[in-house]
Amino acid sequence: MSAKRDGGYSTLGHEKILKPIVELALEAGRVILGVYATDFAVETKADSSPVTAADQRAEAVILAGLKTLAPDIPVIAEEECAAGRMPATGRTFFLVDPLDGTKEFLARNGEFTVNIALIEDGAPVAGVVYAPALGVLYAGGPEGAFKARVVDGLLAEEARIDVRDAPPALKAVGSRSHGSQETVAWLARFPQVSFVSAGSSLKFCLLAEGAADIYPRFGRTMEWDTAAGDAVLRAAGGLVTTCDGRPLTYNKREQAHDAPFANPHFLAFGDRRLIEAAIAPVPSAATL
């Protein structure tokens, strides 16, 4: 089976592409850990965000692998975009963040990930999130989502994961490095909610495996930051929406109000039944 793209066909359908991109994520993780174990240098990009040799070397590994795997599918990758290299995109393309959570990498807390996602018609249809320092990998595609331990660079203890039904007392997850008072205020709409911090795309994965229920994000993100985690979450039964409840879309290239591939604020849900309550206006004291 092949995935149609702009009048042509890719060499692999998205139901077959998950395993090879898992292997690419594992390979990139080995490169990252090689840098992580050293006294690495940190540079600053034009947008003032940090970058290391780990970001650059991991992206090179992934780009080379994707070119061999699916040469007809364009790739939008974070460091390539930072250098001004953004190929034309059609219905189908890859989104790559070779090291999501560079601040977590610098803090050496292990909560950084390799993110690779396949986008089709604006939606993430397959994705991999790999945390090499934690030895855990999440993946999702047409056949569902799974979590695996990684031992000596190989997958072990693979298990299917699914979102949970939301309990009366919700667990929210948010950014370890980019928290905001707006998030705290928004969560007040729920009568019972606890909060846990996590780095990088692991927040989506906590929802996907039923360890949390909701992830509101009111800070800036780019499509490569979210696509892989979004793919895993959707494969596990959840959904990522804009703040008005519409599914978050990808390939937002021409945006008069923002940079190419920038995301709006969003809400991620395990149990989709939470969406209605999450987007409903909160009554003011004057109307009660």
Q: Are 124 and 136 in contact (CB under 8 A)?
A: no
pLDDT digits (tens, 9 = 90+) for 9-61: 234 455 689 999 999 999 999 999 999 988 888 888 877 788 889 999 999 99
pLDDT at 153 over 70: yes
In the prediction, which pLDDT does 13 show? 57
CB atoms closer than 10 angstroms to residue 189:
14
* Domains of the chain and any CATH numbers: 4-161 (3.30.540.10), 170-282 (3.40.190.80)
Identity of the residue numbered 238: G
pLDDT at 110 over 90: yes
pLDDT digits (tens, 9 = 90+) for 189-219: 999 999 998 988 999 999 999 999 999 999 9
Q: Which residues are annotated as a binding site for substrate?
A: 78, 99-102, 225
CB atoms closer than 10 angstroms to residue 159:
9
In the prediction, which pLDDT does 284 show? 52
Q: Are 79 and 59 in contact (CB under 8 A)?
A: yes
In the prediction, which pLDDT does 1 show? 26
In the prediction, which pLDDT does 81 show? 94
In the prediction, which pLDDT does 177 show? 59
The verdict on pTM exceeding 0.85 is yes
Q: Are 279 and 245 in contact (CB under 8 A)?
A: yes
Mean local confidence (pLDDT), 173-182 = 74
Which pLDDT band, with edges at 50, 70 and 90, does 283 fall under? low
Which pLDDT band, with edges at 50, 70 and 90, does 184 fall under? confident
Q: Which residues are annotated as a binding site for Mg(2+)?
A: 78, 97, 99-100, 225
pLDDT digits (tens, 9 = 90+) for 213-270: 999 999 999 999 999 999 999 999 999 999 999 999 999 998 988 999 999 999 999 9
Q: Which residues are annotated as a binding site?
A: 78, 97, 99-102, 225
